[in-house]
Amino acid sequence: MKKKLLALTLAAACVVSVLAGCGSSNEDDDSQGGQQQTQDGQDDQDSNQGSAETGEPTKLKIWVQENLRIQDWETNLQTLLLEEEGNFDLEFEVMPSADYGTKVSTALTVGDISDLPDVIIGYFSPANVWEYAQAETIIPLTDYYNDPELAVNINEAYERTGVRYTDQITCPDGNLYALASFNQSYGNEYPHKMWIYKPWLDALEMDVPTTTEEFYEVLKAVSETDLNGNGKADEIGLLGGIGSFNVYFNYLMNAFVYAGDPQYKVVEDGTVSTAFSTEEWKEGLDYIHRLFDEGLILSESLTMDDAQFKTLLNSEEPTVFAFCWMAASHAETRMDDYICIDSLTGPDGVNYSTFRPSSAEATFLITANCQNPEAAFRLGDMLSSEHLGILTRWGEEGVNWDYIENVENASDYVCGMEGYDISIVAYDDATFWGGSEAQNACWLQLGPYVRQYSIANGLAYTEETLTTYRKNLNAGLALYQTSGHNPDETATVLIFTTEERDAIGDIETSLFNYVDEFKANVLSGNIDLDAQWDSYLSELDNIGEATWVETVQTVYDRMYK
């Protein structure tokens, strides 16, 4: 049923595209064609646009980054589906992945506009998009977004996600210059979860800790008990690292002040401030230092890289009680035994979970050399449909996955996430998504796609595939999503003008280097927190914290007020 609805939507979009000029040259509209064409160029333009009278497909040239798991872009099932449903002829130039970003950036800032393709697919930061927009090598798409007959699937995506996600990629001049991917995901929105080794908690006959003091008591009991029975004092209460696994700090600090923002920004009633200059931050530093000082957090957590972390986590005998990460999957041989606990409540009743609301990423640019930008936008709109959002991740319908209503043995499946209905059944997804073999079913989420919560949360499982690990993971995802400990306001997506970025670039680097340095010295016991706190605040002021906050406030006001 959903696929039929998509087909009708695509067909309608196709008709609109023809009426809007799929087969015409748009000679009277310079804004649609970029530079003026020579006679030879005009002939090529007419060829690229196809013909409304003959129904010839619209040719679009696309740059993409090489992906060893995509067998052939030209014959890929997703490509063929787009060509058939949208009447396109898609021509790909596949570039080596090592220098793709550099080549694209060079082409869009200092290159010859005539060398550009119609469309460029990739991941583009807000700063990149704004730079290319100012260089006038990509075109504004706002008028296309505002055309309900052209942005058919995008408008439908706003409704099914409940979010006008394109606001998050709107540039400082108020224009949209890209199409976006947007994936609502429980797992991504709450990345800092604490996992504890349940067999040891049971052996200690202690309850799941809910406060910072209870967590301290459990870690202390772990460190003082030979829980693995090897006669050695090698039990580690909490393990962290300096790379991916440094998020234990954010998790613990969230019990004192919100520390989940990548730059420790705090937003209350529309006003931006910093967590790291508050008395609550000082109190949190004191608590975390106490855990280090008593050996409840392994001291090597201040120097340990990701590889060392994983090696210790997967030692032959269990040694690690707690660690912080999105999931427990890195505890490879013991992942079934780790359970997720909620964020902790601090001594003053503060309890935050790190919250990163699902955000849009610019993934599809239409260049100023594109002779038929409406058709290019229509391609991006098609990619934003629910069906293609599923297909680009799970592969070929009927082979790699099916809607539950199309599965003969539907009664054999259950939904893995409580509170959701089954959306799709994925067949052997571990091999399809997690494997290394080249496939030709989809683009593997390259380019625009939009998925609402109910897709991933509605994945179906059999008794065999709903493993203990998956049950524990899903319970953890639901726990954080429903506990209500996220801050009311966040500022995770901010798009600066070039002038704003230049004004605070040096300040920002010095500011956060100093914050990290001071934090590390406190936790390692190299400096006395009470004695150095006032000088720390003075140095933040000297570096330019106030200027940084003022600039961030300006951007926040522009985007969110």
- pLDDT for 518-556, tens place per residue? 999 999 999 999 999 999 999 999 999 999 999 999 999
User: Which of 197, 179, 303, 196 has the alpha carbon at shortest distance from 240?
Assistant: 303
Residue 4: Cβ within 10 Å count: 9
Which 3 state secondary structure label does DSSP give 501? helix
Separation CA 459–CA 473 (nearest Å)? 14
pTM of the prediction?
Answer: 0.84
Q: What CATH number matches the domain at 2-187+360-393, 2.40.50.140, 3.60.15.10, 3.40.190.10, 3.30.70.260?
A: 3.40.190.10
Q: How confident is the model at residue 54 (pLDDT cuts 50, 70, 90)?
A: low
pLDDT per position as a tens digit, 372-424: 999 999 999 999 999 999 999 999 999 999 999 999 999 999 999 989 999 99
Give the Cα-Cα-Cα angle 315, 321, 325 (nearest 5 degrees).
90
Separation CA 528–CA 96 (nearest Å)? 51
Q: Is the fold of 2-187+360-393 the same as that of 193-354+489-560?
A: yes
**Under CATH, what is the fold of the domain 193-354+489-560?**
D-Maltodextrin-Binding Protein; domain 2 (3.40.190)
**11-15, 452-456, 500-504: lowest mean pLDDT where?**
11-15
Tell me, what's the pLDDT at 27?
A: 31
Of the two residues 465 and 253, the one the predictor is more confident about is 253
Q: Are 186 and 322 in contact (CB under 8 A)?
A: no
Tell me, what's the pLDDT at 111?
A: 81
Residue 457: Cβ within 10 Å count: 24
pLDDT per position as a tens digit, 283-309: 999 999 999 999 999 999 999 999 999
What CA–CA distances, in Å, run from 62 to 70, 117, 267, 364, 391? 15, 6, 40, 10, 20
Which 3 state secondary structure label does DSSP give 77? helix
**47-61, 64-78, 274-288, 499-513: lowest mean pLDDT where?**
47-61
The ranges assigned to domains in the chain are: 2-187+360-393, 193-354+489-560
